[in-house]
Structure 1
């Protein structure tokens, strides 16, 4: 079963931007007035390409056979048995075949790490007859313990390590990683460049 991890905030904001651009593209088409419309379209196209590359395309994907890291311009597939050390700093870094795959998402910001550390810190109880603590279910308590002191990136990094160790225990083949250029990313860039050229060339 395929599992996809990414920055939810960036993904949602990216699609909000796409909706905004779609409305404006319709308006520019209906009220086309030559050069000004082309310049506006070029600006929207350039910004949309950037949003697609940094917010919509990046993802960390778990498949049955391996880890897929979708970065802005390239896609890397690493068989689970070939995954080496996994470290988490600002990003998730995966060692494989004496190379390093840096996953673009999910990332760990300083604010998120500070928030995770506050969650892990023991709470001091102040006596008050009016203070009540909501009772957590077993599932909620297990989730709180699992995420205590960890960011989303830390948790995903642990899942990658667990999958890799399971694959090695099953003695799966440790094949080479494969990296390919992202054709969809270059297609989006090509459209943005074409709009910019049109805005420059057309009088």
Structure 2
């Protein structure tokens, strides 16, 4: 897998023919590593060196913060296979058979439409700055082609990484929508593995604050 050119670029990872395509945000992963490192350093230091209730505050803070950092940085991903797409957002996982997908769009955010509902694609952030940069690059390329009087065979307009990822998902939805194994209804599952420890941290933080 190659690193994206910009921190906010979603990364399509393509494995063997039977593997799902995976889309993630490179900037989110990098930010998650930095935030976890900072939280771990401050929290563990406070637990070891702190006095009074400080270690308990640090423990509660880590229980609350770490799951939230993981939820918003490492969790978001979109898995696209031949039968369905699985959207893993911070607090929910949405499984959508291609037959249930009504459309995929990248406006100010990336979204998928299914069964009259709209689901955000947190793993594919839209960067207006990247769009403008891509548009300027396309305009310069078109101007150069006009000067030469020709354009490369098969050349097409450049697209921002998020727009390219959404276009790929829309193409997959159209290609596989009629497969017999791609039929079904949307399934939504809450990420209790994230919500439970975060809630425990919030409760512990409130208890320690009240006792203090």
Task: Tell me the TM-score normalized by structure 1.
Answer: 0.77
1:192 maps to 2:201: yes
Q: Which has the higher contact order (CA 8 A, sep 6+)?
A: 1
Q: Gaps spanning 5+ residues in structure 1: where?
A: 126-140
Structure 1 counterpart of 2:117: 99
Of the structure 1 ranges 41-50 and 152-161, higher mean CA displacement relative to structure 2 is found in 41-50
Per the TM alignment, residue 58 of structure 1 is displaced from its structure 2 partner at its CA by 1.8
Q: Distance in 1 between matches of 2:57 and 2:37?
A: 19
Q: 1:35 Cα shift?
A: 2.4
d(CA) in 1 for partners of 2:36, 2:121: 24
Q: Which runs of 5+ in 2 are unaligned?
A: 1-18, 145-152
Which has the higher mean CA deviation after the structures are superposed, 31-40 or 96-105?
31-40
How far residue 177 of structure 1 moved from its aligned partner, in angstroms, is 0.7
Check whether the contact 2:138–2:158 (CA below 8 A) recurs between aligned residues.
Answer: yes
2:63 equivalent to 1:54: no
Are the aligned partners of 2:20 and 2:81 in contact in 1 as well (CA < 8 Å)?
A: yes
CA distance in 1, matches of 2:71, 2:118: 21
C-alpha contact (below 8 Å) 2:44/2:58 kept by paired residues: no
CA RMSD of aligned residues (A): 2.7
Q: Which moved more, 1:5-14 or 1:17-26?
A: 17-26
Say if 1:38 and 1:198, in contact at 8 Å, map to a contact too.
Answer: no
Q: What secondary structure is seen at the aligned counterpart in 1 of 2:177? A: helix
Task: Map Cα deviations across residues 107-164 of structure 1 (whole Å, 9 max, x no partner).
Answer: 1122111111122113466xxxxxxxxxxxxxxx99xx57x43122111111111211
Mapping for residues 174-193 of structure 1, pairs under 5 Å: 174-193=183-202
Report if the CA contact (8 A) 2:68-2:194 is conserved: no
The DSSP-based 3-state class of the residue aligned with 1:6 is strand
- 2:25–2:124 contact (8 Å) kept in structure 1: yes
Match of 1:6 in 2: 24
Residues 51 and 173 (structure 1), Cα distance of their counterparts in 2 relative to 1, 3 Å cut: closer
- 1:10 is displaced (CA, Å) by 1.5
Shift of 1:106: 1.0
| Number of equivalences | 186
The within-5 A match list for 1:101-180 is 101-123=119-141, 148-168=157-177, 170-180=179-189
**SS where residue 111 of structure 2 aligns?**
strand
Q: CA deviation at 1:179?
A: 0.6
